[in-house]
Amino acid sequence: MSLAQDYPSKPIFLVHGLGVGGQVDISVRMLGDALARKLNVPVVVQAKPGAAQAIAVGGVAKANPDGYTIGHFYQGAFSTVPLLQEVSYTLDDLSPIIAWQMSPQVLAVRSDSPLKNLADLVAAAKANPELPFGHQGKGSVTFMAPTVFAKEAGIRLNGIQYKGESETIAALLGGHIPTASITEVAAGPLLESGKIRVLVTFAKLRSPNFPDIQTFEDQGFKVPIQVPVGILFAPKNTPPAIIKRIHDAVRDITQDEKMKRDYAAMKQVLHYMDSKAIRELIEGERKTYYPILKEAGLTK
């Protein structure tokens, strides 16, 4: 029996590049549990944060192409991170399997902050050059959206990098940074408990989950939007039959009514893309963001 025909016959390791306890970690673990039930083998989720996902991506790229090590990464690891820093991989080192989820981001402040909107942020940044904001890595949307906004607004913002969203939120709530980029999912409970205020959503349209949160355009700024899309990847040369097995299993999981309800309760947005559409997304973003980053003096 071939490897593909026998797949899977042992635990699968599912690696992601952000911190333990954050929105990504929680949603990937939910997916891993469902995938384990679907494939009837354990799925072990491993968080390997650092370097805007590049450490985790590089590890998966070097793994055996047997389907037992796969990665969950956002497209910025391939579209923008390599424009900003040296990485050990290219998109050709991995095979996109399936995109299954989107994670719109927001820029948040503590509820006791004097900042109420982007106009207030611009005024504060002009009074205090290089006003800090927390993010999860250069090249990620948590870095890109505030940075491109700052260029559009004629200000400077100083990005402070954290390993994951939970660290970023702790720094914000602890008063170590005045602003932070976090996911809508993480922002929800903090908004409901009155701990934060959101200045802007990093999406083209207002979220149905948070219809009162304004977009950049609502506030008079034209900022290209990079909404993170959660994508599963395998090392290149992984047999097509194994790729299809994982793709079909994840596709079935995201169509399951209970999973839909569970993710909706978390304010998650399920979003399907096939491998061709994933590659087009990544290449399109590279073309969009390269001249912006180059003009800003941020390219490597």
pLDDT of amino acid 2: 58
Q: What is the DSSP string of 222-250?
A: -------EEEEEEETT--HHHHHHHHHHH
pLDDT (tens digit, 9 = 90+) per residue, 33-71? 999 999 999 999 999 998 889 999 999 999 999 999 999
- pLDDT > 90? residue 297: no
Question: 105-219: what fold?
Answer: D-Maltodextrin-Binding Protein; domain 2 (3.40.190)
> How is residue 55 written in tokens?
């450490």
pLDDT of amino acid 1: 45
The domain spans of the chain are 3-99+228-295, 105-219
Separation CA 120–CA 182 (nearest Å): 19
The residue-averaged pLDDT of 118-131 equals 95
pLDDT (tens digit, 9 = 90+) per residue, 206-248? 888 889 999 999 999 999 877 899 999 999 999 999 999 999 9
pLDDT (tens digit, 9 = 90+) per residue, 98-114? 999 998 899 999 999 99
- pLDDT > 50? residue 266: yes
Domains 3-99+228-295 and 105-219 share a fold: yes
List the Cα angle 269/227/203 in 5-degree steps: 90
pLDDT of amino acid 37: 97
pLDDT (tens digit, 9 = 90+) per residue, 138-188? 888 899 999 999 999 999 999 999 988 899 999 999 999 999 999 988 999
Instruction: Give the confidence band of 3 by pLDDT, cuts at 50, 70, 90.
Output: low
Q: Which CATH number fits domain 3-99+228-295: 3.40.30.10, 3.10.450.40, 3.90.76.10, 3.40.190.150?
A: 3.40.190.150
Cα 254 → chain centroid:
18
Instruction: Give the confidence band of 204 by pLDDT, cuts at 50, 70, 90.
Output: confident
Q: What is the DSSP string of 28-87?
A: HHHHHHHHHHHHTS-EEEEE---GGGHHHHHHHHTS-SSSSEEEEEETHHHHTHHHHS--
